[in-house]
Structure 1
Amino acid sequence: MSVRGISHVTFVVADLERTARLLCEGLGAREVYDSAGREHSLSREKFFVLGDAWLVAMQGAPLAERSYRHVAFAVDAADLPACRARLQGLGVDILPGRGRIEGEGASLYFHDDDNHLFELHAGTLDERLAAYAAADAAATPSGRG
């Protein structure tokens, strides 16, 4: 057996229509299914395609509190200002972000109304590892590694 990747990500949400607006209008997802009275799972659900990702929004009680647990979607850095504007237009709670080291890649963090944290990230794993290695090398005193 070998795992090939992530199949889908499910978010439990109080309001499916509100989440559909966030995913479609805010992030550019495409809705591909709505169970609407034909519940095959635990409750009504909608399926979305965002890039190559299959996302599920399932009707239910929202998260009780916010945390740093999140899903990050890959975007081009040049698209972040337009993403921010679309999300602000939907009244999304955009966070100030966290400190970054040079080369790590820009991010935009936001919460939905169900306390899920999302990140739009302009960077790759290779870029992140290179940035961390450079920061670690710069912090190591010369000749002592």
Structure 2
Amino acid sequence: MEGISHITFIVRDLERMATFLCQGLGAHEIYDSAGQNNSLSREKFFLLGGVWIAAMEGAPPAQRSYQHVAFSVSDTDLPRYQANLQALGVEIRPPRSRVEGEGQSLYFYDFDNHLFELHTGTLEQRLARYRSLAGR
């Protein structure tokens, strides 16, 4: 196993997803199959933080859940992303309760019920914090 190859989201409107990813999160569109579908349906590819994101036209999830994809961001960049997303009309979720020292998170839904998170902490920081709490 070498890691994650790509993440695919099924969306109603590829242009709206492109705006969400590019303007909201700073992704770069790198492919559009318009006119020559080579897969199940029209698709677009994006690079976001070095991750290949695929978006395909289709029927997105019917309901929302806590299943999500989280991207790592710095504390200083989090407010900028929040402003970008709010300008697009994206629904920002209230933060969940947190243990101090595990980082900050911004949770938000795209327009097709996919939940995203921007997180400022690392796995190592979270585990260290949880270990310190267990020792109390």
TM-score for both structures, normalised by structure 2: 0.98
* Residue 12 of structure 1: aligned partner: 10
State the alpha-carbon separation in 1 of the partners of residues 115 and 25 from structure 2. Answer: 14
Correspondence for 1:141: none
Percent identical:
63
Aligned residue number for residue 65 of structure 2: 67
Q: Find the aligned partners of 1:38 and 1:56 in 2 and give their Cα distance.
A: 16
Q: Any idea what the Cα deviations from partners look like across 1:96-118, whole Å, max 9, x if unmatched?
A: 01000011110000001100000
**8 Å contact 1:11–1:57 — kept in the other structure?**
yes
Which has the higher Rg, Structure 1 or Structure 2?
Answer: 1
RMSD: 0.6
Partner AA of 2:102 in structure 1? E
Runs of 4+ off more than 2 Å: none
The answer to whether the 8 A contact 1:63-1:116 is kept is: yes
Q: Structure 1: which 5+ residue stretches go unaligned?
A: 139-145
33, 36, 49: which is aligned to 2:34? 36
**Aligned-partner SS, 1:77:** coil
Given that residues 97 and 107 in structure 1 are in contact (C-alpha distance below 8 angstroms), is that contact kept between their aligned partners in structure 2?
Answer: yes
**Structure 2: gaps spanning 5 or more residues:** none
Between the two proteins, the alignment pairs up a number of residues equal to 136
From 113, 122, 125, give the equivalent of 1:124.
122
- Look up the match of 2:53: 55
Query: Which residue of the partner structure matches residue 113 of structure 1?
Result: 111
